[in-house]
Amino acid sequence: MARILPISAFQFIIISSLLSSFSMILVSGEDHEFVKPMDPELFGLKKEKLTHFRLYWHDIVDGPNPTAVTVVQPNSSQTKFGMIRMIDNQLTLGPESSSKLLGRAQGFYASASQQDLSLLMAQNLAFVQGKYNGSTITLMGRNSLSNKVRELSVIGGSGLFRFARGYALLTTQSFNASKSDDAVVEYNIYVLHY
């Protein structure tokens, strides 16, 4: 009959470490059929480029054809904390609403601060003109209305903007705070895409 020799704590740690390493090698060698590396050129992704867009965002809250509709009305608050609006705003070439339509900004914004006028914004800029027709750029971020220039992140896109990243600088051109909350905002978007 074989005799089992006692092992020291040091030997136990060494044996345990070897067994753990061996099991990690086995797991990492498994064939994960749900994920695999891809060659970007298979998708036509060759060279990333930087594109600048300047356009105007028209937020119409009042009147017969609003493009921003309040879906959650805030409790009385100076900052309108809790207010949520869905948008389908025009994106135009110039600041006038009659200027050439480039696309639509579709999404929402919500008053997300109890201390100041700051919005959480999430929107797709859906283009309807030229080679970008049918493509979108997705923006998200904090829009602190007390700042002259605000920045949102480009977090993605579709069509010609797949894998997009970058930022947008927002500057208010006009805002009717006393009556309607209607606004025109200049968007300067810098987007890296393929």
pLDDT value for 42? 84
d(CA 77, CA 52): 38
pLDDT value for 2? 57
Q: Is the pLDDT assigned to residue 24 strictly greater than 60?
A: no
The rounded mean pLDDT for the chain is 89
Over residues 65-87, mean pLDDT: 92
Length of the chain in residues, anyone? 194
- The pTM assigned to this predicted structure is 0.79
CATH classification of 46-193, choosing from 3.30.1360.200, 2.40.480.10, 3.40.50.2300, 2.70.98.50?
2.40.480.10
Q: Is the pLDDT assigned to residue 59 strictly greater than 90?
A: yes
Specify the higher pLDDT residue, 33 or 171.
171
- Among 12-21, 41-50, 62-71, 112-121, which is the least confidently predicted range? 12-21
pLDDT value for 6? 64
Domain residue limits, the chain: 46-193
Over residues 164-186, mean pLDDT: 92
